[in-house]
C-alpha cells in the first residue's frame, strides 16, 4: 500500500541542516544521504560481530546487532510507509540506533558504566551520538559523519525526551549535553519527531519477538513454556489449528510473524487515534505534543510487558547466558583497568589522541576504544594485554 507523505512527516527539503555545510547531493535527499553514510560506516559493519543476546553465537541463525538492526529497519519502514512518515529518515534512525553498543551487549555496557563511574559514566545511546559526531572518521574535512539535525535528534531521543541530559537510571549523557549546548541544539526537552518514535517502537517489537525466536531455537525454553504468556499461547494455538502437524520450526516462524503483525497493527491503530485526538498537523505539532504519538494500546502494552517478563526470567537470566555475560564483563573490566593504568598498551593512533590528556579524558578515550570493539576483537585484546 502506497501512502502519500503526511503533513506531520519530516520534510527533507526543510531539514535544519548539518553542522558543516556541504553541497546538496544531485541524486539523494539529505535523509537518504544520512542513511547511506550510516550503512557505509565502519561502526555499522562492526555490528555484525556484536552481541544481541548470545555472545559470539556459533549457531548461524542466531541474531547479532547487525541482523537485529536490519530487522528493526524493516519493521520501522513498514510502519512509516503506512502512516505517511518519512521512510528514509526512519530507516536511518533504525539502522543507527545500536551503533553505540559495546561488545557483549548490555553486559558490556553495564561493565563500562561501572568502571566509568567518576568519569561521566557510559550510556550506549549517548555513545551512538559520539560515534556519529566524533569517532567515525570517513571524511577529511570533519570528524564524524556530519548528519542532519533530524537524524542526530532522532538517535538521541528515539526512546523519548532527554529532559536533563540524563538517561532513565540517572546516567549523565556527556556528548548529548555538549550538543544540546551547541549550535546544533537537539531540543532535548521536546518529543522526538515521528520517525524517531517509529524507530523506537520498532526496536521493541523486533527484539521481543526475535529474542523469543532465538531462545526457542537455542532450546533455552520450549513452546509450552512461553505459551504461558497468554497472547503468545493464543498465537501458537492458532497456528497449530491452521496448520495441523506442522514441524516446530515452521510453527515458531509463523507464530512470530503473526505476533509481530498484531503488534504493528496495534501501533498503527493507537498512533492514528492519538494523532486525531491531539489534532496533529505538522512535524512541529509532533514535537510539542504532551505525549508520544507512536505507542501501543493499553492491552498490547500489557502483552508486551508480559513477554518481556518471561524473557527476562527464562532467557536473559538463563544460567548459560549469565555465564557468558560474566565472562564478557571480566574482559571489558580488565581491558579498561589495564589501558587506564598503562595507556601505552593502546594502539598508536589512540595513544596520539591522548597527548596532554588528564585522567578523565584518558578514561573517556579508553571507553571509546573498548566500546568500538566486536566481541571477538575484545577477547583478542584481552589475551594481548594479559600477556603484556
Tell me the pLDDT tens digit for each residue of 133-174: 999 999 999 999 999 999 999 999 988 888 766 666 666 677
Q: What are the domain boundaries of the chain?
A: 207-319, 321-387
Model pLDDT, residue 61: 57
Residue 9 pLDDT > 90, yes or no?
yes
DSSP state, residue 310: H
Residue carrying the nine cell digits 557510559: 122
Q: Which of 294, 296, 2, 297 is nearest to 154 (CA)?
A: 294
Mean pLDDT over 22-47 rounds to 97
DSSP state, residue 170: -
d(CA 185, CA 181): 6
Tell me the β-bridge partners of 64.
Answer: 51
d(CA 241, CA 336): 54
Contact 385, 116 (CB under 8 A): no
Residue 231 pLDDT > 90, yes or no?
yes
Model pLDDT, residue 58: 56
For residue 167, give the C-alpha cell: 538517561
d(CA 92, CA 132): 12
Residue 374 pLDDT > 70, yes or no?
yes
For residue 111, give the C-alpha cell: 561493565
How many C-beta atoms lie closer than 10 Å to residue 100's C-beta?
24
Model pLDDT, residue 54: 55
Between 376 and 51, the higher pLDDT residue: 376
Amino acid at each position: 500500500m502506497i501512502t502519500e507523505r503526511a503533513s506531520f512527516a519530516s520534510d527533507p527539503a526543510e531539514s535544519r541542516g548539518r553542522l558543516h555545510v556541504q553541497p546538496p547531493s544531485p541524486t539523494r535527499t539529505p535523509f537518504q544521504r544520512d542513511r547511506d553514510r550510516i550503512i557505509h560506516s565502519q561502526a555499522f559493519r562492526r555490528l555484525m560481530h556484536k552481541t544481541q543476546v548470545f555472545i559470539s553465537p556459533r549457531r548461524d541463525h542466531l541474531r547479532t546487532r547487525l541482523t537485529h538492526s536490519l530487522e528493526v529497519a524493516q519493521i520501522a519502514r513498514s510502519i512509516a510507509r503506512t502512516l505517511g512518515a518519512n521512510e528514509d529518515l526512519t530507516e536511518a534512525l533504525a539502522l543507527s540506533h545500536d551503533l553505540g553498543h559495546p561488545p557483549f551487549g548490555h553486559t558490556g555496557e553495564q561493565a563500562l558504566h561501572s568502571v566509568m563511574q567518576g568519569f561521566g559514566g557510559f550510556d550506549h545511546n549517548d555513545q551512538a551520538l559520539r560515534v556519529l559526531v566524533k569517532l567515525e572518521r570517513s571524511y577529511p574535512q570533519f570528524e564524524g559523519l556530519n548528519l542532519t539535525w533530524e537524524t542526530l535528534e532522532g538517535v538521541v531521543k528515539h526512546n523519548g525526551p532527554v529532559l536533563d541530559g540524563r538517561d532513565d537510571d540517572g546516567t549523565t549523557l556527556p556528548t548529548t549535553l555538549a550538543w544540546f549546548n551547541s549550535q546544533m541544539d537537539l531540543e532535548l526537552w521536546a518529543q522526538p519527531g515521528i520517525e524517531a518514535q517509529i524507530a523506537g517502537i520498532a526496536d521493541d517489537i523486533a527484539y521481543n519477538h526475535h529474542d523469543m525466536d532465538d531462545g526457542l531455537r537455542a532450546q533455552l525454553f520450549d513452546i509450552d513454556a512461553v505459551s504461558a504468556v497468554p497472547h503468545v499461547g493464543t498465537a501458537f494455538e492458532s497456528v497449530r489449528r491452521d496448520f495441523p502437524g506442522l514441524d516446530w520450526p515452521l510453527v515458531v516462524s509463523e507464530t512470530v510473524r503473526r505476533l509481530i503483525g498484531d503488534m504493528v497493527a496495534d501501533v498503527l491503530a493507537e498512533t492514528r487515534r492519538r494523532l486525531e485526538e491531539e489534532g496533529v498537523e505538522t512535524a512541529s505539532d509532533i514535537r510539542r505534543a504532551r505525549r508520544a504519538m507512536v505507542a501501543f494500546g493499553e492491552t498490547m502494552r500489557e502483552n508486551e510487558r508480559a513477554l518481556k517478563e518471561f524473557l527476562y526470567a527464562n532467557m536473559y537470566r538463563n544460567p548459560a547466558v549469565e555465564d557468558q555475560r560474566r565472562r564478557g564483563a571480566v574482559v571489558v573490566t580488565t581491558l579498561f583497568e589495564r589501558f587506564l593504568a598503562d595507556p601505552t598498551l593502546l594502539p598508536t593512533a589512540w595513544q596520539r589522541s591522548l597527548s596532554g590528556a588528564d585522567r578523565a579524558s584518558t578514561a573517556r578515550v579508553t571507553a571509546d576504544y573498548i566500546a568500538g570493539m566486536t566481541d571477538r576483537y575484545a577477547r583478542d585484546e584481552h589475551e594481548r594485554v594479559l600477556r603484556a
